[in-house]
Amino acid sequence: MFSVILHVSFALFFSPLLLGVVAKTKAFFAGRWGPPLLQPWYDIVKLFRKGSVYSTTTTWVFKLTPVAVLATALLSCIFIPLGTLAPPVYFWGDALFFVYLYGLMRFFLIIGAWDTGSSFEGMGASREAAFSCLSEIILFMDLILLVMVSKSLVLCNMLNTSFFSSWASMGPVLILVVISFFLVLLVENARIPIDDPNTHLELTMVHEVMVLDHSGFDLGLILWGSAVKFFVLGSILISLFIPRHESFMAGMVFFMVGMALLALTVGVVESIMARLRLNSVPHLLTGGFVLALLGFIVILLKGM
């Protein structure tokens, strides 16, 4: 129980920082100093002290949504290693549980958007559902590849440090995995080539518009949940790179530096790329799928 609490609070504490790094990088590229690293934290705390406005159209579903979002995001972090912290819960097939947990989160976000009866939120929900359908198959293809490399469907076995040694033999495949997983990370967290996290104009109405009607405490929960989701998916990606190490601190340092680098990369991608037109997002996702498929073909040829 203690390790669960430790894991959850680790994710809760560090996840807003990650967003801070992304914002700082973007500001740097724009030639500004940017908000302080702790700004996402200040935002959440501020929202927790604000009152809420509820639409007369909404029912309890709308109020359940923020709770469900944060709870599923937090639960998802207990299956993956965070640096040297081993996951407190693991079982055969927890990778599937992990993916479907995000399905649960998305289900509640979408019906929360439906509940407001607003056409804008419906639009965002529709796009989010369609894009995540496609990103989910990339995620599963990556999962298949990782399973074939590590011969296990337990997330902590797939992501532990002995995995690093398979880079020597499976390098090409793992590069493909990393690229397509990075794409999934961008889609799932509504980052720039797919969606702009800063606006909810009609043209970019994907993820952000779905939470348009949430306010105050509820919005805080949702923002925190999204941050945790980013953190968790990012730490999966980083875990693939952590080399074998001896001490507790070394692992932690590797992990932290890796996460910071990841946030930096996301910030750079956001700064140098333009958001894609909506109808070319499926093309991008198809491309990601084909990459993962290429990895599958290569791994079949090389033998497992």
Partner 1 sequence: MWLDISLVSIIFIGLVLLGSSRIGTIIRLFAFQSLILSSIPLQVGWTDLTWHVAAIVLGTLMVKVFVMPNFLFWAIRHVRMRREMPAILGYGKTMLLGGVLVGVAFYISSKLALPNPYFSHLFVPAAFSIFAIGLLLLVSRVKAITQVIGYLVMENGIFLFSMLLLDKTPFLVEMGILLDIFVAVLVMGLVINHMTEDYEDTNTFNLATLRD
Partner 2 sequence: MIAFLASLIFLSAGILFLALIRNRPPWARVVFLTSLTAGCVLSFISAVYSLVTQASFAFDGHWAWPWGEFYVGLDTLSAVFLLAVTILCFLAGLYGVGYLKEGCGPEKDLSGHFCLYLVLLLSLVLVVTARNAVLFLLAWEAMSVSSYFLITHYDDKEDVRQAGLLYLVATHVGTFCLWVMFILLGTRAGSMNFDQMTAAQFPLALSGVIFVLAILGFGVKAGFLPLHIWLPHAHPAAPSHVSAVLSGVMIKMGIYGIIRVIMLVKHFPEWCPMLLLGIGIISGVGGVLYALGQHEIKKLLAYHSIENIGIITLGLGTGLWAQLHQYQAIAAIGYAGALLHVFNHAMFKGLLFLSAGSVIRQTHTGEIDSLGGVMKYLPWTGVLFLIGSLAICGLPLFNGFISEWLVYRSLFEGLFSFPLEAVMLIGFAIIALALIGGLALMCFTKAFGAVFLGQARSPHALNLQENPRLMIAPMTLLAAICTWIGIFPNTMAAFCLKAAASISPAGKNVPDIENILRPMAGITLSLGLLTGLCFCLVLLRKMALRSLPVTRSETWGCGYRGSTPRMQYTASSFASPIVLLFREALCLRRSGSRPKQIFPERVHLASEVMDASEHFFWQRVYVWIREICSRLKIIQCGYAQMYVLYIFIFLFLILIWKVT
Give contact residues for partner 1 (rule: CB under 8 A).
Answer: 168-169, 171-173, 175-176, 280, 282-283, 286-287, 289-291, 293-294, 297-298, 300-302
Please choose which of partner 1, partner 2, none residue 122 contacts, taking the beta carbon within 5 to 8 angstroms, the exact cut-off set by kind. Answer: partner 2
Q: Which of 155, 162, 7, 136 is nearest to 92 (CA)?
A: 155
Kindly report the backbone phi and psi dihedral angles of residue 274, in degrees, each rounded to the nearest multiple of 5, phi listed first: -95, 155
Name the residue nearer to partner 1 (CB basis): 103 or 171.
171
Q: Whole-angstrom Cα distance, residue 210 to residue 205?
A: 8
Beta bridge partners of 82: 85
Among 31, 119, 168, 272, binds partner 2 (CB under 8 A): 119
Nearer to partner 1, 4 or 178 (CB): 178
Could you tell which of partner 1, partner 2, none binds residue 106, using a CB distance below 5 to 8 A set by kind?
A: partner 2
List b or e across 51-78, with b for residues whose CB sees 16 or more CB atoms inside 10 angstroms: eeeeeeebeeebeebbebbbbbbbbbbb
- Position among 27, 37, 89, 256 found at the interface with partner 2 (CB under 8 A): 89
Contact partner at residue 272 from partner 2, partner 1, none, CB < 5 to 8 Å by partner kind? none
Cα 123 to Cα 172: distance, rounded to the nearest angstrom: 39
**Does residue 166 bind partner 2 (CB under 8 A)?**
no
Helix (H, G, I), strand (E, B) or coil at 116: coil
The first and second tokens of residue 62, run together, are 């709308």
Stretch that binds partner 2, among 11-19, 117-125, 162-170, 226-234 (CB under 8 A): 117-125
Location of structure tokens 């939120």: 121
| Between 105 and 143, CB nearer to partner 1 | 143
